[in-house]
Structure 1
Amino acid sequence: TEQPVAEVAEACRAAGVPLLVDAAQSLAWGPVEGNWSLLTASAHKWGGPSGVGLLVVRKGVRFAVPGPADERESGRQPGFENIPAIVAAAASLRAVRAEAAAESARLRELTERIRTRVPQLVPDVEVVGHPDQRLPGIVTFSCLYVDGEALLHALDGEGFSVSSGSSCTSSTLTPSHVLKAMGVLSEGNVRVSLPFGTSEEDVERFLSVLPGAVASVREHLHTPAARTEAAAPAEEERVIDALGKRCPLPVIELAKIIDEVPVGGTVRVLADDEAARLDIPAWCEMRGQEYVGEEPAEVGSAYVVRRV
């Protein structure tokens, strides 16, 4: 999702705060507007050589490297410039910028196809991110009752390399802080990036294998079956002990018993996985149940859900 850099830069400038813009994903598509202070990017994002980073310091901005420095690299970093790689990075950026307008329109049509058809093909899916103010080649969605890493492995077996969560948290087991801040479902998250030249056939094949991959992972995790009309009578409040269980298991356990709870009854989910704080309210919104709130517990937290 594209951020309002120009507006944020003005607010920062008025407060005397320098603004660093991470333009790794967006620089290939055009310049970053606004009076930001510093801008960073990486050449491999636009097809340039790996290992070449870009740092832009606006004139008038005081900048000093906290680590050791010498007279090389204008005092910004010790070492010798890799001139061939730097030239290749600049040349590749110019090349992709020359085709950016036409390729942007083509990829935006393909990602819009994914955004529209994935919820039609796969039940219990939330497409996240702004529908219009976004980069043309990236689309993100979250699948309920699915472990993100398991889904990545399933899609990899079909020949598709995708990501889960945000790139900032890809090596950790914690939910993406970006998705958490957005207040959306974090479990079963898939981030699809379409590089320059991605064909329509590639997208269609991805859409054809995705439903089977999601269904396979859900079956492996023993996802609750479809709802039945009749629900077994039960006590007013049920307690689920999901302590020690990681995403998406607390939500799966909740979904398994919700139909056994009488209308108006509550379920108290005990969980110590940080993702539950985000996923249980998101599940309630998707399933039309009432999220009462979070309460303290001896271990972890108690998340209370009322069946409606």
Structure 2
Amino acid sequence: MSPRDDAPAVPAVDDRGVTHTTAPAAVRRVVLDAGGRAPLLPQARAAFVEALDQGWADPRRLHAEGRRARLLLDGAREAIAAVVGARTEDVDLAPSHTTALHTAVLTVARGRRRAGGDVVVPTVERAAVLHAADTAVASSGGRRVDVPVDGLGRVDVARMVDAVGQPGVALAALQHANGEVGTRQPVAEVHAAARRAGVPLLVDAGASLGHADVGDAWDVLAADAGDWGGPAGIGVLVTRRGVRRSPVAPEDEDRWFPGGVSVPAALAAAVALQVAHADRDAADAARRALVDRVRARVAAEVPDTEVVGDADDRLPHVVTFSSLFVDGEALVTALDALGFAVASGSACTSSSLEPSHVLAAMGVLTHGNVRLALPRGTRAEDVERFLDVLPGVVARVRAAGGVDGL
């Protein structure tokens, strides 16, 4: 990463009491937070710039420029379909991952309203899925059926299978892996049960596609281009043939996502996915080793800290830990000042000030949380430097809060 050249100036007071502003020392930035917004891959950037010249027109227009844009857009859909094992016509591009998830839940629930109004969701699904399920059942008169998870964040398979087999279920949802703690879910077993029950399964692969094999155990698949090194503003929704859906938005030429998406962004997203897919095994091995190192050193060197999620059956690049007597926002801010960009699994880093529903559902510590999602190319020496400073940072944050001597 490049040196930090946008740090604020630092005020200083001299011996005469006069305040001066001095430039801060350069801090080399190390990004360890690529969840949902990974650095744009160079190949994707090049594709985006090229498409600004070739695909600027409205792909719905009939003139040559519009037809050229349509070819680029359809090519992007074809490339994404090839990676996920679907037909091009099954792939829709959304203006965001959140919009893709909302649309998946609402349109499938509406399309299957004659089958029932219930939506089955594990308690660790993304808030976008949980909120969309609430909206769907409020309209249908059904119920949101919550299925618990274990201490690793993995859904209770027996209870999930039982829930999807009950009468009146319109849709079941299950993430491929949890983007907050990395734990992979038993998608194949749940999909088999849903198929026996005739219930479509929505699989959220927003944290997985481009990093792990998402398989074919799904009926509806959602993903996030920003997570695999594509541009922000492109979500993916893939629907298998035979899944009944009904639009919930006003009528538009773009049936599922009125207004469409940026053609340059769509092409860049597809190129980034192809690059990530081709490089997946090597990137998996490199980042998995780094995450193993983080898990081991944090557990051994930071007192009263819990590393959460499955240590083995997990995403290769995600690791989360929580420290007692530490405010998560304060910890993220302190690390940022030292040049490390990390995230907190707790929603208290947003305006809601609420603890993470994922960690709460797991029954683990919800505060003092740090989440790492390592981008491709993360250097071992940067991870080691982060681990070297972490114990001292945690100790200082604790001391500032009146807790010392741990």
TM-score (ref. length: structure 2):
0.53
Aligned position for 1:108: 288
Query: Contact between 1:9 and 1:34, CA under 8 Å: does it hold in 2?
Result: no
Q: Any stretches of 5+ residues in structure 1 without a counterpart?
A: 227-308
Q: Does 1:152 align with 2:332?
A: yes
Pairing 1:50-89 to 2, within 5 Å after superposition? 50-72=232-254, 75-89=255-269
Deviations 1:129-150 (A, max 9, x none): 0010111111110101101111
Aligned amino acid, residue 52 of structure 1: I
Aligned amino acid, residue 184 of structure 2: E
Q: Does 1:44 align with 2:226?
A: yes
Pairing 1:14-29 to 2, within 5 Å after superposition? 14-29=196-211
Deviations 1:23-60 (A, max 9, x none): 11100124322432211111111111110111111111
The number of equivalent residue pairs is 224
Q: Any stretches of 5+ residues in structure 2 without a counterpart?
A: 1-182
Change (3 A) 1:167 1:225: closer
In 2: Cα distance, 1:4 partner to 1:120 partner = 30
Deviations 1:90-118 (A, max 9, x none): 11100011111011001100000000001
In 1: Cα distance, 2:360 partner to 2:261 partner = 39
Give how far 1:211 is off: 0.9
Aligned position for 2:367: 187
Change (3 A) 1:151 1:169: closer
Three-state SS of the structure 2 residue aligned to 1:149 is: helix
Aligned amino acid, residue 84 of structure 1: P
Identity %: 56
In 2: Cα distance, 1:68 partner to 1:25 partner = 30
Q: CA RMSD in A?
A: 1.8
TM-score (ref. length: structure 1):
0.69
Aligned position for 2:193: 11
In 1: Cα distance, 2:272 partner to 2:340 partner = 25
Aligned position for 1:121: 301
Change (3 A) 1:65 1:160: farther
In 1: Cα distance, 2:312 partner to 2:398 partner = 31
Aligned position for 2:21: none
Query: Contact between 1:163 and 1:191, CA under 8 Å: does it hold in 2?
Result: yes
Three-state SS of the structure 2 residue aligned to 1:29 is: coil
Once the two structures are overlaid, the 10-residue window that deviates more, 89-98 or 164-173, is: 164-173
Deviations 1:132-175 (A, max 9, x none): 01111111101011011110101111111111125798542222
Aligned amino acid, residue 8 of structure 1: V
Three-state SS of the structure 1 residue aligned to 2:313 is: coil
Query: Contact between 1:44 and 1:52, CA under 8 Å: does it hold in 2?
Result: yes
Aligned position for 1:211: 391
Change (3 A) 1:224 1:127: same
Deviations 1:241-293 (A, max 9, x none): xxxxxxxxxxxxxxxxxxxxxxxxxxxxxxxxxxxxxxxxxxxxxxxxxxxxx
Query: Contact between 1:69 and 1:77, CA under 8 Å: does it hold in 2?
Result: no
Deviations 1:280-308 (A, max 9, x none): xxxxxxxxxxxxxxxxxxxxxxxxxxxxx
Three-state SS of the structure 1 residue aligned to 2:340 is: coil
Change (3 A) 1:24 1:212: same
Aligned amino acid, residue 191 of structure 2: A
Query: Contact between 2:324 and 2:368, CA under 8 Å: does it hold in 1?
Result: yes
Aligned amino acid, residue 305 of structure 2: V
Three-state SS of the structure 2 residue aligned to 1:173 is: coil
In 2: Cα distance, 1:153 partner to 1:69 partner = 45
In 1: Cα distance, 2:196 partner to 2:404 partner = 53
Q: Which has the higher contact order (CA 8 A, sep 6+)?
A: 2
Query: Contact between 1:107 and 1:194, CA under 8 Å: does it hold in 2?
Result: yes
Change (3 A) 1:214 1:61: same
Once the two structures are overlaid, the 10-residue window that deviates more, 126-135 or 82-91, is: 82-91
Q: Which runs of 4+ in 1 moved over 4 A?
A: 166-171
Query: Contact between 2:295 and 2:319, CA under 8 Å: does it hold in 1?
Result: yes
Deviations 1:163-209 (A, max 9, x none): 11257985422221111111111110110111000001110110011
Three-state SS of the structure 2 residue aligned to 1:28 is: coil
In 2: Cα distance, 1:28 partner to 1:213 partner = 33
Three-state SS of the structure 1 residue aligned to 2:341 is: coil
Three-state SS of the structure 1 residue aligned to 2:387 is: helix
Aligned amino acid, residue 147 of structure 1: D
